[in-house]
Structure 1
Amino acid sequence: MTQPRLAIKIDVDTDRGTREGVPALSALLQRKGVPATFLFSLGPDNTGRAIRRIFRPGFFSKVSRTSVVSTYGLRTLMNGVILPGPDIAKKNRDVMRAVAAAGFETGIHCWDHVFWQDKLFSLSDARVAEEFGKAAQAYEDIFGKPAKTAGAAGWQANAASLAAYDTAGLDYASDTRGHAPFFPVAGGRRFRTLQIPTTLPTLDELMGRPEYPTEGLADELLGRLAPGRFDVFTIHAEIEGMSMIDWFGRFLDRAKERGVTFVSSAQEAANLNALPEAVPFAALEQGEVDGRSGTLAVEGARMSGVAA
């Protein structure tokens, strides 16, 4: 029986997460021999401006469950409001380069996390391209080559952002929540950049809920894997790389005990892009995910007859 295959995707949202969480995760993953993809925020850390989300359904329940102050730290929560947002890439370029030097795949999360997550759908196509372009340029300045993957902040994506990816020539992106890799369709267009969706719940969507006690979270997540299937688990440098790093180490051990094979999203994308006719395309839609406030990009119905 073919064992479950699991890829680890790491979203890095903040200056503190880059400075503290990323090195800790890199060291842990190297010790465990587990590949992963680190997606970096590359512009200002304006985390404090996320307070504008207080009117979203489910926002208060999420922040109370996940202990936002202890997770992010008071200094981070003042960034962009009381204190100027630090430039993440300029402050942490050595940290980012060390991740690549250790053999991990790196890519783009965003330029300004809060701005992209909260404002994407109010921006013109040109403004979306400009915002992604700033992140792409910062990435190239750090790593000396263009990024080949991206995963949008807050799983916020639309036709304009997909067009920016196609223009950048990415190998794949990971903007969505869904079930299996697909080519996205939005605004009546089929886009060339493969989507590899997050298939498992994130830790912050489960933690703190009485039906998901902390001691059972690893088995809850691993129980959702299936033999022969490829899954993606998104973690956060600010959570699994900091307050929950011991839990994450135990999760990796438990996964290996259960026969899970850890794989690279980049290799999965290369295999699929080599046979694009075998990959379905599906609508990129906006939907809700249990445990997360607001709407995000989700894999919709599979489609046919849409021109590229």
Structure 2
Amino acid sequence: MNKRSIYILSIGTLLLLSACESKERKGASAMLDTASQYYQQEAYEEALQLLDSLNKVYPKEVEAREQALALSREVRLARSRRDSLAIIPRMQALIQYTDSLYREFSLVKAPGMPDENIIRYKGYDPSSANPQDSFLDCYIASDGTLELIAATSGADTQGVTHIQVSESVGNTFVSSDTLAYDGGLNYRFQDLGRHYERLTFTGEKAIKVASFITNAPERATIKITFGRENGKKGRVFNLDKRAKEAITKSYLYAQGLLDIAELQRGIDTHNRRLLLETERRTKEAISKK
């Protein structure tokens, strides 16, 4: 191959590379334009998906990728602002709802120990009626956590570790978490020759059981079956109307507080993002001076 042929081949290669680069640049630019249009239309998810794809499809287009990163920040901030504005009325409605529920509860104070204060639905306290009966107690702790206490008693120790809650209409059930005997929250004691056992479900463990009871058909009979550590079934009793009402209202109140906390986290996330973006722009402006 002579020098003239090599020269012509080199020119051809350069032209081909230039054409490829131009094609890549145009493709990246088109994706940026489309993402920008999505942004203007407030189609934030679509815009972000396209901007993320640009980095993968055109990894060598540095300038376009930098523009995509800047636009992504703008889109995420706008989406966060939109979401936080939508949160506020939802939070206000939830606060009003939980406030209305709170009127149906009574505060039970623990003298000298405010952290031990609890609220009960209209004074519901099954243990004070007949502590020998099997029952499912419920209340809201001082931190807003739902607590359920499954209690049973008998002539002998049963060794209960969990409960199964079933409803008669759909013939469905839910099993609680297994709680090991710890002598604290889950305890056993003996009084006048009778053995008493208590299981205390808190937080998500209580929510799981209470949610099932709350959403059971109104006409359903709700049966509580105690499960023993040896795998056998223990005592069985039916939840009465008063107990279902108390557990339902307590669940709704506790879940309302959880939902409010979740919405607040959404607002806090937006505020942090806004603060970080403000700090970034401030530093960028200072560096350009």
User: TM-score range with shorter-chain normalisation?
Assistant: under 0.3
So what's the TM-score if we normalise by structure 1? 0.19
Q: Which has the higher contact order (CA 8 A, sep 6+)?
A: 1
Structure with max Cα Rg: 2
Structure with bigger helix share is 2
